[in-house]
A and B are shown apart, each in its own frame.
Chain A
């Protein structure tokens, strides 16, 4: 079978509805669950998570601080940082270094719910218009955010960061801020496909850089089974990272997505009727008949 006719139909037919939506559902549960944990406090007085994504306390003990915000703090030149923020940033940093940087994007970030919805609607409505961004625009954005912090001496981006704005807004209440979120939805819907998350968000860029080294990866060990339906390519928020791995057998590219831009969302795993993809480890060589050196060499080339 070549191009798909109905997106996802093949996977549902072959694997059943649950297997074809497993990661998507788990991901939504994670995103909403984390919000609920923060909300349980103000709603029911059960303080599991207190604060918001920028800084929080788990069970009133474990401090957590977003390393992206922390980096901005460093960029401003503020140096008398209390230990809680340093410990908290290290904890979160270690977590995402281990499980995949942009795991944040697809499993935690509340804006992802908005941009995924916009992407879904865009496909439903068949909207094709699109502004083109240079692939690395979001890294420029990251540089800009840090530069502005350094020059102004304040965390200027946090005045407008839609991620922290939305999360804080949901938990602490928000009025005008919803317009900013609506703006992102409309931008993704009409102006550019996956405009915000894939192209612009500096936070995504930051976590993308972390993700370059994390050991948990999406693997395509069964890539020979690929029947060119291109469904993974359509659902992936960062489709440019897939073809090289999927078709790289002859070139000796290892069957593992090493790009930091992969959000570990697992949509490609769900949607593939042939079960080509699965979560695995970076250096798992059980199926890939590649020596470690070969793999590293290829990985270098890929990066």
Chain B
């Protein structure tokens, strides 16, 4: 830099300086590009690596976690690890593997307040509100509950069983006389702690924790569930509810609550024998008559 100030070789010095600068800029720029691209590929986490409770969504997490390991240190169960170079998790960031070291869902969540940056959100104070991931019964072919055997281990170890995971009783089609006790996970309560995955008695767990974005589907933003909207509004939002009407002959009604066709005693022809019923049916033998009858009435 300084040699460009001397008079005579100024242009030469400046030339050299410009070339050197260009060289440096190119080199550093390429390196930056490399790091940028690497960061993009390194940001896709292995699906089995789960972030500690309270972790911000992945993009914000990678913007804020300093990789200090304070959360790792303050976890009394020692489940958290900092990713090593070359792991399928961004270098230095904390994660746990549910199958071997699930989160024990400490009531005071000691891993969170110690995080200096808020990469683990300090606003999370109730561990039941944590959403580290979501348990999914991924394999209904090997889960022995689906085979008709009694297991329910995942259900029993769940700290919030009954809410996060319930048992659904279904008919065992194979034996014809037994029940299946099917574990069902509910995303509105499951924290993704992974205790169920560790407990699964199979060689390879049939219930696994996945990061939310892998475990959950998402309705299109434009979807409105009519029945929910109706409940919210206290009535139909489109046209007033129409009672469904059937084109039934005189003296016959239809009961929605289960009874089905009802023949009013007075008008309905008595049905003594099946034969008589067949002959004295109120329906015309020509179905068109019934249809037309409806139209005529409407007129």
Which residues from chain A sit less than 8 Å from chain B, CB to CB?
41, 47, 50-52, 54-57, 63, 65-66, 69-70, 73, 76-78, 80-82, 84-85, 88, 133-137, 140-141, 143-145, 147-149, 151-160, 164-165, 168-169, 171-177, 179-180
Whether A50 and B63, one on each chain, are in contact in the complex, defined by CB atoms closer than 8 angstroms, is no
Q: Given the complex, which residues of B lie within 8 Å of A148, measured CB to CB?
A: 32, 35-36, 39
Does B118 touch A at the CB level, under 8 Å? yes
- Which residue in A54, A147, A156, A169 is a CB contact (below 8 Å) of B39? A156
Q: Given the complex, which residues of A lie within 8 Å of B118, measured CB to CB?
A: 80-82, 85
Does B90 touch A at the CB level, under 8 Å? yes
Whether B32 and A144, one on each chain, are in contact in the complex, defined by CB atoms closer than 8 angstroms, is yes
Whether B20 and A134, one on each chain, are in contact in the complex, defined by CB atoms closer than 8 angstroms, is yes
Taken together as a complex, chains A and B put the C-alpha atoms of A169 and B87 apart, in Å, by 13
Q: Provided the pairs A76-B63, A144-B28 are in contact, do residues A51 and B39 lie with their beta carbons within 8 angstroms?
A: no
B83 to chain A, nearest CB (A): 10
Does B40 touch A at the CB level, under 8 Å? yes
B14 to chain A, nearest CB (A): 14
Closest to A143 in B: B28
Closest to B21 in A: A134
Q: Given the complex, which residues of A lie within 8 Å of B81, measured CB to CB?
A: 172
Whether B36 and A152, one on each chain, are in contact in the complex, defined by CB atoms closer than 8 angstroms, is yes
Closest to A160 in B: B35
Q: Provided the pairs A73-B63, A155-B62, A159-B91 are in contact, do residues A50 and B32 lie with their beta carbons within 8 angstroms?
A: no
What's the interface size class on B, roughly? 35 or more
A to B CB contacts below 8 Å, 25 in the list = A47-B73, A54-B66, A55-B70, A57-B116, A66-B66, A69-B66, A70-B66, A82-B115, A133-B24, A141-B28, A141-B31, A144-B35, A147-B32, A152-B36, A153-B59, A155-B66, A156-B38, A156-B39, A158-B66, A158-B92, A164-B67, A164-B92, A172-B69, A172-B81, A172-B82
Closest to B67 in A: A54
A-B pairs, top 8 by smallest CB distance, nearest first, are A55-B68, A156-B39, A82-B118, A76-B63, A154-B62, A84-B116, A176-B86, A144-B32
- Which residue in B36, B92, B114 is a CB contact (below 8 Å) of A156? B36
Which residues from chain B sit less than 8 Å from chain A, CB to CB?
1, 20-21, 23-25, 27-29, 31-32, 35-36, 38-40, 42-43, 59-60, 62-70, 72-73, 81-82, 84-86, 90-92, 114-118, 122
20 A-B pairs besides A66-B66, A136-B24, A137-B28 with CB distance below 8 A are: A47-B73, A54-B67, A57-B116, A73-B66, A78-B63, A80-B118, A85-B116, A135-B1, A145-B32, A148-B36, A155-B65, A156-B39, A157-B35, A159-B90, A164-B67, A171-B69, A175-B86, A176-B86, A177-B84, A177-B86
- Which residue in A57, A151, A153 is a CB contact (below 8 Å) of B70? A57
A133 to chain B, nearest CB (A): 7
Taken together as a complex, chains A and B put the C-alpha atoms of A65 and B66 apart, in Å, by 8
Whether A156 and B35, one on each chain, are in contact in the complex, defined by CB atoms closer than 8 angstroms, is yes
Taken together as a complex, chains A and B put the C-alpha atoms of A41 and B25 apart, in Å, by 43
Whether A155 and B63, one on each chain, are in contact in the complex, defined by CB atoms closer than 8 angstroms, is yes
Whether A51 and B40, one on each chain, are in contact in the complex, defined by CB atoms closer than 8 angstroms, is no
Taken together as a complex, chains A and B put the C-alpha atoms of A279 and B74 apart, in Å, by 40
Q: Given the complex, which residues of B lie within 8 Å of A180, measured CB to CB?
A: 85
Q: Provided the pairs A156-B35, A172-B69 are in contact, do residues A140 and B25 lie with their beta carbons within 8 angstroms?
A: yes
A193 to chain B, nearest CB (A): 17
Whether B85 and A55, one on each chain, are in contact in the complex, defined by CB atoms closer than 8 angstroms, is no
A77 to chain B, nearest CB (A): 7
Q: Given the complex, which residues of B lie within 8 Å of A137, measured CB to CB?
A: 24, 27-28
B80 to chain A, nearest CB (A): 10
Q: Provided the pairs A80-B118, A85-B117 are in contact, do residues A154 and B43 lie with their beta carbons within 8 angstroms?
A: yes
